[in-house]
């Protein structure tokens, strides 16, 4: 549990949470490991969990309308992905593949919503941080224009 808490402290999504609050988040976090070149999920699939990169790197790949697949982003330690489906229940907007042996932590949508409803203080902080994370990603995207 302490190892998971140490990871959570390094992820901006959980900044501002107290030690006890991090304990509660750690309780709904699951770990999974993937070898290199493993498909984490595919674009257009339905998704019900978000992922936190504990170690390794993953590649975000997007297929355009012509079916051409492009690598658009590499995410490393401390980054989160898959959170959009958690919020809007839409299909996955990209495919994600591990580039090297990778350890991910996951939080399911049901567990996330359950925790936010049970403890609205945690819910407020995490929703605020999720908005800030999306803002960071939009600013990153805007840097190309």
Partner 1 sequence: MIYTVSYVVVGGRKKYPSGMMNQHERPVVGSQVQLGSNLFEITEVKRMLPPSDDFEFLHVTCTPVEEPSDDQEAETELA
Query: Binding partner 1 by CB under 8 A: which of 72, 91, 121, 134?
Result: 72
- Report the distance separating Cα 31 and Cα 52, nearest Å: 9
For the bound state, the minimum distance from the C-beta of residue 110 to partner 1, rounded and expressed in Å, comes to 27
Residue 124 vs 136, nearer CB to partner 1: 136
Query: Binding partner 1 by CB under 8 A: which of 25, 41, 49, 79?
Result: 79
Q: How far apart are the first and last CA of the chain?
A: 42
Choose among 136, 130, 143: nearest CA to 17.
130
Residues 6+ apart with CB under 8 A from 13: 52, 80, 126, 129, 130, 133
Q: Is residue 116 close enough to count as binding partner 1 by CB under 8 A?
A: no
Sites of contact with partner 1 (CB under 8 A): 10-12, 15-16, 53, 57, 59-60, 70-79, 99, 132, 135-137, 139-140, 143-144
């Amino acid at each position: 549990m302490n190892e998971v808490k140490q990871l959570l402290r390094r992820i901006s999504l959980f900044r501002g949470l107290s030690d006890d609050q991090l304990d509660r988040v750690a309780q709904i976090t699951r770990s999974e490991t993937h070898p290199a070149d493993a498909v984490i999920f595919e674009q257009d699939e339905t998704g019900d969990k978000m992922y936190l990169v504990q170690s390794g790197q993953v590649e975000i790949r997007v297929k355009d309308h012509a079916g051409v697949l492009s690598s658009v982003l590499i995410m490393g330690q401390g980054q989160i992905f898959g959170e959009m489906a958690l919020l809007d229940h839409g299909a996955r907007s990209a495919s994600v593949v591990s580039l090297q042996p990778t350890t991910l932590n996951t939080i399911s949508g049901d567990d996330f919503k359950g925790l936010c409803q049970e403890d609205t203080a945690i819910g407020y902080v995490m929703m605020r941080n999720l908005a800030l994370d999306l803002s960071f990603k939009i600013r990153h995207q805007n840097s190309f224009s």
